Amino acid sequence: EAQLLESGGGLVQPGGSLRLSCAASGFTFSSFAMSWVRQAPGKGLEWVSAISGNGGATYYGDSVKGRFTISRDNSQNTLHLLLTSLRAEDTAVYYCAKGRPWFGDNYFDCWGQGTLVTVS
């Protein structure tokens, strides 16, 4: 059974940085694109970023482009998201989600429990 476990969230000041991680298990990690999706308190889902299975292609939403960097370590079955130049509006629960081999086929069939990032 596929499982995802995020870590790294916390309280950070505006302008600060944070690195989120997502440990994957139960599936062939390198075969699937992975995404980060966030949800501000009481708000809807927002897709943040995605990375291809081999890490060669990365994709970002307009609101985070140039500030966030997605990466993966297939030898460690781990996904990362580096958040920099953080703003109050980045406050949210950040979920990692398992996709399909191609990220555009947004079939997120496994989600982590989420990690809360608070910018204040």
Q: Pick the binder of other proteins from 2, 8, 12, 46 (CB under 8 A).
A: 46
Cβ(6)–Cβ(115) below 8 Å: yes
Q: Pick the binder of other proteins from 44, 56, 88, 120 (CB under 8 A).
A: 44
Rounded CA-CA distance 101/51 in Å is 10
Q: Pick the binder of other proteins from 32, 47, 68, 94 (CB under 8 A).
A: 47
Tokens of 1: 């059974």
Of 29 and 36, which CB lies nearer to other proteins in the complex structure? Answer: 36
Nearest approach in angstroms of CB 16 to other proteins is 26
Tell me the HSE value of 115 on the side-chain side, using a 13 A CA sphere: 19
Of 6 and 18, which CB lies nearer to other proteins in the complex structure? Answer: 6
The string of DSSP codes covering 40-90 is -TTS-EEEEEEE-TTS--EEE-TTTTTTEEEEEETTTTEEEEEE-S--GGG
Of 12 and 100, which CB lies nearer to other proteins in the complex structure? Answer: 100
Nearest approach in angstroms of CB 15 to other proteins is 25
Note the residues at the interface with other proteins (CB under 8 A): 35, 37, 44-47, 50, 59-62, 95, 103-109, 111-114
